Structure 1
Amino acid sequence: MDVSHDQAKILDLTVAGHRVATPCAEIGEGAPALLLPALSSISAREEMLPLARELGQTYRCLVPDWPGFGAHPRARLPLNPANLHAFLDALLAAAPGPYALGVAAGHAAPYLVAAAQRHPGAFARLVLVAPTWRGPLPTAMGPERAAWFGRIRRAVEMPLIGEALYRINISPPIIGRMMRAHVYAEAAHVTPAVIAAKHRITRQSRGRFGTAAFVTGGLDPAASRADFLALFGDRLPPVQVLRPEGAPRRSGAEMDALIGTGRVASAPVPGALSAHEEFPRDIAAAIRAA
Structure 2
Amino acid sequence: MYNVLVSNEKAIQSQYKSHVYADPENVTPSIVESRYELTKRKGARYVPAAFLTGLLDPVNSRVEFVELFAGLEGRIPILVMSTSGSPKRSKAEMEALRGAKGVSKFVEVPGALLPQEEYPKVVADELYRFLLEIFESKA
TM-score normalised per structure 2: 0.84
Partner of 2:95: 256
Structure 1 position 211, deviation (Å): 2.0
Residue number among 20, 29, 51 corresponding to 1:192 in the alignment = 29
Is the counterpart of residue 201 in structure 1 residue 41 in structure 2?
no
Structure 2: segments with no counterpart, 5+ residues? 131-139
The equivalent residue for 2:124 is 284
CA displacement 1:139-165 (0-9 Å, x = unmatched): xxxxxxxxxxxxxxxxx1xxxxxxxx4
Question: Runs (4+) of structure 1 moved beyond 4 Å?
Answer: none
Give identity over the alignment, percent.
Answer: 37
Matches of 1:268 and 1:219, distance apart in 2: 24
Secondary structure of residue in 2 paired with 1:236? coil
Deviations 1:152-192 (A, max 9, x none): xxxx1xxxxxxxx43x3321111011111221111011111
- For residues 1-290 of structure 1, the aligned pairs below 5 Å read 156=1, 165-166=2-3, 168-169=4-5, 170-232=7-69, 233=71, 234=73, 236-264=75-103, 265-290=105-130
Q: CA deviation at 1:263?
A: 3.2
Deviations 1:221-256 (CA, angstroms, capped at 9, x unpaired): 110001101101235311111111111111111111
Superposed CA deviations along residues 109-140 of structure 1, whole A, max 9, x for unmatched, are xxxxxxxxxxxxxxxxxxxxxxxxxxxxxxxx
Secondary structure at the counterpart of residue 268 of structure 1: strand
Instruction: Tell me if the contact between 2:99 and 2:106 (Cα under 8 Å) persists in the aligned partners.
Output: no
Query: Alpha-carbon deviations, 1:66-105, whole Å to 9, x = none?
Result: xxxxxxxxxxxxxxxxxxxxxxxxxxxxxxxxxxxxxxxx
Structure-2 separation of matches of 1:277 and 1:242: 13
Q: Greater helix percent: which structure?
A: 2
Alpha-carbon offset, residue 197 of structure 1: 1.0
Number of residue equivalences: 126
CA deviation after TM superposition for structure 1 residue 205, in Å? 1.9
Deviations along 1:21-50, one digit per CA (max 9) or x if unpaired, are: xxxxxxxxxxxxxxxxxxxxxxxxxxxxxx
Displacement of 1:194 in angstroms is 1.2
Q: Where does the alignment leave 5 or more consecutive residues of structure 1 unmatched?
A: 1-155, 157-164
